């Protein structure tokens, strides 16, 4: 029988519920259990794909093309849980389905209500993940207990244990235990209030995970246990990690969380083996080099907008035992101050994906700088499109070359709309989305990195390399290193006369893991390390 873990959060948002859920999943997998993860988001948007990265962080894309919340990125990086469209639901999607059913007459004219119709729909999407191959489903409820939008979800998970039996459900509540400088102590009251709110709805949490800046004393843990009505062993400290998020599972295990879950849910689990995870944290702690990579994007100041890119750079760093320092640079700043000034000190340049015209010229200037100075360059999605425009303008001499996304009547639309995209008006879920095969040129760097001829990578875009210009690009030294299966769409470009310059139409960052860096990120960071070492040697020579 499949067991269920529900993860809720209280006191404040951004406590790292996604990371904690992913860590729990990972630890249980390491104990030989088959885990599935799911996030239920209380906001009303139907398409997470149309939400602003500025407000909400990156849109994470799955193999099946669903556009989801970025927490699913944590799930995939930490676990092997197979994620699909059923792994992420919003209130909007739940209500849409209820309303569609009502209009089809499925409720036989009854009054449609939050309880039972909406809560039944929520329970149904949780049940969807249950099958014979799944020992545990971990369902994370987005938002914070007390939010108006969360109520139906909390009500649904409360009913869940009545439906399938208390012994088959475990409620984990993540809270904050803040340190008050003026008082010089940790405060447990917000946690008590948050648990109080949960209990009002009828949920008694089984486990409390307490985020804190400082270690929680035994006395404070006893107090939390008493006031929140949980045993002492179920008050688990999760102290801030100043070093790496990949330490979170290690500390949860250290504080006894896996043993507690296994005991409470009466799971048949193997002994824990976290050697590979410990090894990766060890490698992060003892780097042999430190390099700088400039990430030039529209949202440089907003950390979560390029979350998976930063993680993938870290993974490549782990692989090469190198600390990758990321410089977040706004492309508009490059337009103001020039590429030379802002990029001079870096060992590599990465231009990520994006939408909208703002800052495009700065990205193009940055790419020109990297091409002319031999700086390792990695372009992703919009980053590739900018590299194509840069090459067209500055190598092929096609003045005014552009993407028709930004200048409709450009004389040289080197990036243009796919035919099948021309008549689409709805924004949500209508791009070229999800995993597609790419065939690699046998002589390409890309194939050398991947070590195989066909790869599946995830897409999320409307615009494409304009095939009409293909031969001109090839004649001037650009290699078409990868195409779609039928050879029609250009998926990877490379420069021949350059230490490392590659750009891809897809998003490799979504398939990188701390234990298995993505091959192209590993190749890019490897090239940046080489440049770093060479520059160091040259400087030493000059000083002699």
Cβ proximity to ligand GLN, 291 vs 350, nearer residue: 350
The footprint of ligand GLN on residues 272-331 (CB under 6 A) is none
Torsions phi, psi for 378 (to 5 deg): -130, 115
Active-site annotation holds for 449: no
The footprint of ligand GLN on residues 12-71 (CB under 6 A) is none
Binds ligand GLN by CB under 6 A, chosen from 85, 127, 193, 462: 462
Nearest distance in Å: CB 61, ligand GLN = 9
CB of 198 closer than 8 Å to CB of 173: yes
Binds ligand GLN by CB under 6 A, chosen from 89, 160, 463, 469: 463
- Pairwise CA distance, residues 96 & 93, whole Å: 5
Binds ligand GLN by CB under 6 A, chosen from 9, 353, 379, 514: 353
Question: Could you please report the per-residue DSSP string of 335-393?
Answer: HHH-HHHHHTT-SEEEE----SSTTHHHHHHHHHHHHHHT--EEEETHHHHHHHHHHHH
Query: Residue 503's Cα: distance from chain center in Å?
Result: 20
Nearest distance in Å: CB 454, ligand GLN = 22
Residue whose C-alpha is closest to residue 172's, from 202, 141, 197, 147: 141
CB of 136 closer than 8 Å to CB of 28: yes
Active-site annotation holds for 381: yes
Cβ proximity to ligand GLN, 208 vs 382, nearer residue: 382
Identify the active-site residue in 210, 228, 381, 449.
381
Cβ proximity to ligand GLN, 66 vs 119, nearer residue: 66
Cβ proximity to ligand GLN, 25 vs 53, nearer residue: 53
Nearest distance in Å: CB 431, ligand GLN = 6
Q: Which stretch binds ligand GLN (CB under 6 A): 11-19, 233-241, 303-311, 348-356?
A: 348-356
Burial class (CB in 10 A: 0-12, 13-18, 19+), 254: exposed
Cβ-closest residue to ligand GLN? 353
Unique residue bearing structure tokens 């893991």 = 513
Residue whose C-alpha is closest to residue 328's, from 349, 314, 312, 347: 349
Q: Are strands 413-417 and 463-465 parallel, antiparallel or unpaired?
A: antiparallel
Binds ligand GLN by CB under 6 A, chosen from 3, 461, 479, 531: 461
β partners of residue 168: none
Nearest distance in Å: CB 53, ligand GLN = 10
Tell me the two tokens of residue 40: 């239920």
DSSP H or E segment with residue 186: strand 185-186
- Pairwise CA distance, residues 408 & 257, whole Å: 56
What proportions of the chain, in percent to the nearest 5, are helix, strand and coil?
A: 45, 25, 35
Nearest distance in Å: CB 245, ligand GLN = 24
Torsions phi, psi for 155 (to 5 deg): -60, -40
Binding mask 214-233 for ligand GLN (x = CB under 6 A): --------------------
Binds ligand GLN by CB under 6 A, chosen from 43, 107, 355, 406: 355
Binds ligand GLN by CB under 6 A, chosen from 37, 252, 381, 528: 381
Q: Which stretch binds ligand GLN (CB under 6 A): 20-28, 39-47, 349-357, 444-452?
A: 349-357
Active-site annotation holds for 289: no
CB of 411 closer than 8 Å to CB of 537: no
Which SS3 state, helix, strand or coil, does residue 516 take? strand
Helix (DSSP H) and strand (DSSP E) numbers for the chain: 19, 23
Q: Which stretch binds ligand GLN (CB under 6 A): 215-223, 245-253, 351-359, 470-478?
A: 351-359
When asked if residue 10 is in the footprint of ligand GLN (CB under 6 A), the reply is no
Residue 537: how many other CB atoms lie within 10 Å: 10
Cβ proximity to ligand GLN, 280 vs 296, nearer residue: 296
Nearest distance in Å: CB 383, ligand GLN = 7
Q: Which stretch binds ligand GLN (CB under 6 A): 118-126, 142-150, 208-216, 378-386?
A: 378-386
Q: Which stretch binds ligand GLN (CB under 6 A): 80-88, 165-173, 284-292, 458-466?
A: 458-466
Burial class (CB in 10 A: 0-12, 13-18, 19+), 59: buried
Cβ proximity to ligand GLN, 357 vs 453, nearer residue: 357
When asked if residue 405 is in the footprint of ligand GLN (CB under 6 A), the reply is yes
When asked if residue 460 is in the footprint of ligand GLN (CB under 6 A), the reply is yes
Nearest distance in Å: CB 306, ligand GLN = 11
The CA-atom distances, in angstroms, between 473 and each of 377, 396, 409, 495 are: 18, 7, 21, 10
Cβ proximity to ligand GLN, 197 vs 421, nearer residue: 421
Cβ proximity to ligand GLN, 390 vs 405, nearer residue: 405
Nearest distance in Å: CB 50, ligand GLN = 13
Give just the sign of the alpha carbon dihedral 480, 484, 487, 490. Answer: negative
When asked if residue 73 is in the footprint of ligand GLN (CB under 6 A), the reply is no
Q: Which stretch binds ligand GLN (CB under 6 A): 141-149, 192-200, 456-464, 478-486?
A: 456-464
If phi > 0 it is left, if psi is from -120 to 50 it is alpha, else beta; for residue 493 that is beta
Identify the active-site residue in 315, 445, 461, 507.
507
Tell me which residues touch ligand GLN (CB under 6 A): 353-355, 381-382, 385, 405, 460-463
* Residue numbers annotated as active site: 381, 507, 509
């Amino acid at each position: 029988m499949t067991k269920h873990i529900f993860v809720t959060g209280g006191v404040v948002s951004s406590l790292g519920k996604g990371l904690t859920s992913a860590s729990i999943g990972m630890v249980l997998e390491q104990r030989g259990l088959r885990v599935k993860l799911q996030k239920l988001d209380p906001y009303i948007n139907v398409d997470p794909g149309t939400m602003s990265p500025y407000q909400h962080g990156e849109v994470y894309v799955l193999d099946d093309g669903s556009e989801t919340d970025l927490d699913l990125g944590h799930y995939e990086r930490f676990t092997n849980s197979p994620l699909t469209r059923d792994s992420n639901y919003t209130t909007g999607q739940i209500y849409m389905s209820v309303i569609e059913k009502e209009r089809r007459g499925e409720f036989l004219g009854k009054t449609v209500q939050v309880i039972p119709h909406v809560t039944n729909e929520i329970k149904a999407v949780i049940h969807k993940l249950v099958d014979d191959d799944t020992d545990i489903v971990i369902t994370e409820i987005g938002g914070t207990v007390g939010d108006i939008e969360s109520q139906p979800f909390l009500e649904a998970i409360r009913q869940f244990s009545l439906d399938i039996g208390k012994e088959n459900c475990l409620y984990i509540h993540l809270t904050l235990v803040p340190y008050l400088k003026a008082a010089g102590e940790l405060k447990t009251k917000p946690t008590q209030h948050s648990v109080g709110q949960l209990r009002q709805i009828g949920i008694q949490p089984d486990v409390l995970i307490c985020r804190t800046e400082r270690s929680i004393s035994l006395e404070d843990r006893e107090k939390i246990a008493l006031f929140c009505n949980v045993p002492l062993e179920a008050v688990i400290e999760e102290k801030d990690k100043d070093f790496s998020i990949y330490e979170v599972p290690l500390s949860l295990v250290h504080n006894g969380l896996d043993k507690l879950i296994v005991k409470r849910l009466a799971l048949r689990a193997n002994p824990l083996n976290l050697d590979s995870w410990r090894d990766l944290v060890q490698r992060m702690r003892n780097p042999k080099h430190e390099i700088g990579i400039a990430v030039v994007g529209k949202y440089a100041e907003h950390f979560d907008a390029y979350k998976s890119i930063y993680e993938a750079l870290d993974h490549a760093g782990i692989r090469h035992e190198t600390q990758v320092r990321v410089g977040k640079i706004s492309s508009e700043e490059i337009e103001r101050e020039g590429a030379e000034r802002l990029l001079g000190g870096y060992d590599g340049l990465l231009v990520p994906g994006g939408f909208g015209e703002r800052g495009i010229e700065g990205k193009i200037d940055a790419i020109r700088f990297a091409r002319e100075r031999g700086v390792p360059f990695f372009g992703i999605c919009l980053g590739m499109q900018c590299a194509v425009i840069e090459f067209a303008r500055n190598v092929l001499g096609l003045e005014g070359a552009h993407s028709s996304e930004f200048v409709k009547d450009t004389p040289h639309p080197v990036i243009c709309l796919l035919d099948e995209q021309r008549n689409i008006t709805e924004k949500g879920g209508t791009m070229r989305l999800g995993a597609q095969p790419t065939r690699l040129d046998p002589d390409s760097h890309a194939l050398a990195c991947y070590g195989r001829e066909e790869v599946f990578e995830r897409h999320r875009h409307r615009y494409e390399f304009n095939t009409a210009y293909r031969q001109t690009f090839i004649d001037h030294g650009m290699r078409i290193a990868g195409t779609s299966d039928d050879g029609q769409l250009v998926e990877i470009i490379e420069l021949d006369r350059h230490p490392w310059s590659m750009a891809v139409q897809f998003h490799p960052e979504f398939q990188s893991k701390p234990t298995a860096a993505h091959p192209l990120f590993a190749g890019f960071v490897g090239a940046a390390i080489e440049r770093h070492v060479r520059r160091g040697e040259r400087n030493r020579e000059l000083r002699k």
